[in-house]
Structure 1
Amino acid sequence: MLGNVSELDLRLIRVFLAVVEAGGISAAQTALNTTQPTISAQLATLESRLGFRLCERGRAGFSVTSKGSQFLEAARRLMAAAEGFRVEVQHINRKISGNINIGLLGQIDPVANKKIALAIARLRSHHEGLYFHFTELSSSFLEEKLINGHLDLAIGYFWHRLANIDYFSLFQETQIAYCGPTHPLFDKVGVLNSEDVREHDWVWPSHPLPEMPAPTSIDRLTALTDSMDGAALLILSGQHLGFLPQHYAARHEALGQLHPLNPEQLRYEVGFHAAVRHSARQREAVSAFLAELMAVFGAPE
């Protein structure tokens, strides 16, 4: 006789549980896909190994004994633990593979880039068969390629906020208005206000953001571009004023090529988002990468 529960045959315990759930040996035949004599023999074997009777069966009907009731609760806990173990092992062995096509706005803050890289590293440390394809695009093209399925996920700032795309906030970028050394206002930079700069030409994003109202009338927005480098060249030329990300302009400012008009007043905080089509979120690889991004940026999904 074996009294050690750890040595019991799990298959026999499952037979007992099935009989209890069915309410008797005869009723359990269909669930167990076997005959009544076989079930009776399996119950007898289990009882023999336990050293006590689990249930009464016969003409008087089926009933669980007092010890059988105690064993029943323990058996259910054991089966639940076994199922939890199975799921956990399956998760350990589960691998995500395939490609993720990701679009990025150019010239992202290095600090944010490092976090995106961390999300990639964390995901690939568990799923080596996952491959990333990156494309650098302007904000408008990011949304367009998301919609037509050329991209699975995009990281940038977006102005459409389309209904079939989900947007997840990642981080804020500081945009400051700058002036080049040959511009007429350069000698006054640092203290200029909105009225001082209103009558000058500006370079402006082709697709403006809701966080950034235009600093002047539309006829003074004489250059439109989605290129950060293009905007910087126009400002450096001395012909235009314009906003640039603070981290991007810092190198020009250090060389004396650009200077903020008024960093306390002429500035905006622009939100960067991860954008994903509703349908793309159903893909396991995309969903996993999005979860890692939310984790490294500390943002709720």
Structure 2
Amino acid sequence: MSKLRQLSDVDLRLLRVFVVIVDQGSFAGAQGQLNISQSVLSENLKSLEIRLGIRLCERGPGGFRVLPEGQQVYKSAKRLFAAVEEFKTDLSDVGEGLAGDLSLAIEDDVMTNPDCRIPLAIGTFLRDHGRRVRLKIEVMAGFQVLSRVADGSAHVGVTVAVDRTKTRGLDSYALFMETLRLCCGRGHELFSVPTPKIEAEQLLQFQYSSRGHLEPDNFLGALATGYEGDIGLGAQAQLALVLSGRNIGYIPEHVAAPYVTSGEMRYIGQEEQARRTNGVVAVTRTKNQDVKMIDLFVRQLAKSHGIAAKGSPKKTAN
């Protein structure tokens, strides 16, 4: 049983350190995130364990592993900090103007899409409403974006629209489209095969890199039969797997283009298989849809992308 009876500011700080360590999966990852030395991180964790009266994790030459008690503390701490963020978000609407933190989670390589207007939206929002608003922006894999928005640690997410974005408790709003091309690297068997000679059935014979549980339904049909291959969680991870020559896979066109130009990669397949289009959406928690700061920012995102310039942003079907 925990010895903790009251929460002090020090306890909250130690809990935040512990949450970051678990989120990053290691002391090294947390060190970069918090800008704290590994020895200080270790001392903070030891202090928290003493305060709680329980051991939270194992660390040492064998690696880092969160114990069952640590998992419970981690989940409780995440709920606590989500409640704190929600309280701060509620306060942002109190008084004149907007004030407080606004956290934005963006899927990797969405920012590099030529059709992305997120910087324009941020600049306009801060100019019009942001004198007392502080933005926090992180770039991550798509499934992490959804997780951050769902647990309240991010107010707005921007990610590729797949089935997971249609999750209970989340609303999504269309922004722009992303085109993906089926590719292979220079070392792949298909690299020198002329496109007209590559049949759909032939494509299914090769190692295919999926996006894991975020794989859209309109990708290669082999996945529906329980196919297991390499997984690239994010555009850059997919790119690495395809460039390796082992996999074929769908890469965002704007990410693939420089490598196609340099001859390190090529587009493969006939039009029916070679090109896919997915929407990029803004995602918020349903319970936050009436929070003024979040609503105004999502509206500005939509307007900057030429969508729903008047009225509410267009919500995608759930």
TM-score class, shorter-chain normalisation, is 0.5 to 0.7
**What corresponds to 1:110 in structure 2?**
113
> Does structure 2 retain, via aligned residues, the 8 Å contact 1:165–1:276?
yes
**What corresponds to 1:228 in structure 2?**
235
Aligned-partner residue type, residue 112 of structure 1:
D
**What corresponds to 1:138 in structure 2?**
141
Aligned-partner residue type, residue 255 of structure 2:
Y
Scaled by the length of structure 1, the TM-score of the pair is 0.64
Aligned-partner residue type, residue 149 of structure 1:
G
Within a 5 Å distance, the mapping from 1:236-247 to structure 2 comes to 236-247=243-254
Of 184, 188, 195, the residue aligned with 1:179 is 184
Indicate yes or no: 2:264 matched with 1:257. yes
Give the direction of change, closer, same or farther, for the CA distance of 1:167–1:232 in structure 2 (3 Å limit). same
**What corresponds to 1:288 in structure 2?**
296
Indicate yes or no: 2:287 matched with 1:276. no
**What corresponds to 2:173 in structure 1?**
168
**What corresponds to 2:202 in structure 1?**
196
Of 140, 148, 154, the residue aligned with 2:157 is 154
**What corresponds to 1:18 in structure 2?**
none
Greater shift after overlay, 129-138 or 205-214? 205-214
Give the direction of change, closer, same or farther, for the CA distance of 1:263–1:134 in structure 2 (3 Å limit). farther
Give the secondary structure class of the aligned counterpart of 1:182. Answer: coil
In the alignment, the residues of structure 2 paired with residue 209 and residue 230 of structure 1 have an alpha-carbon distance, to the nearest angstrom, of 14
The CA deviation at 1:219 is: 5.9
Unaligned runs of 5+ in 1: 1-92
In the alignment, the residues of structure 1 paired with residue 254 and residue 153 of structure 2 have an alpha-carbon distance, to the nearest angstrom, of 30
The CA deviation at 1:131 is: 1.8
1:176-215 Cα offsets, whole Å, 9 max, x none, are 1001111111111433231221111111111234453334
Of 244, 248, 258, the residue aligned with 2:255 is 248
> Does structure 2 retain, via aligned residues, the 8 Å contact 1:202–1:240?
yes
1:122-181 Cα offsets, whole Å, 9 max, x none, are 111122222211111212111111111101010002432112111111111001100111
In the alignment, the residues of structure 2 paired with residue 264 and residue 222 of structure 1 have an alpha-carbon distance, to the nearest angstrom, of 23
> Does structure 1 retain, via aligned residues, the 8 Å contact 2:159–2:280?
yes
Greater shift after overlay, 192-201 or 148-157? 192-201
Give the secondary structure class of the aligned counterpart of 2:182. Answer: strand
The CA RMSD measured in Å over matched residues stands at 2.0
Give the secondary structure class of the aligned counterpart of 1:216. Answer: helix
In the alignment, the residues of structure 1 paired with residue 142 and residue 163 of structure 2 have an alpha-carbon distance, to the nearest angstrom, of 8
**What corresponds to 1:100 in structure 2?**
102
Structure index of larger Rg: 1
Aligned-partner residue type, residue 213 of structure 1:
F
1:215-239 Cα offsets, whole Å, 9 max, x none, are 4355654101213222212211211
> Does structure 1 retain, via aligned residues, the 8 Å contact 2:200–2:269?
no
Give the direction of change, closer, same or farther, for the CA distance of 1:211–1:171 in structure 2 (3 Å limit). farther
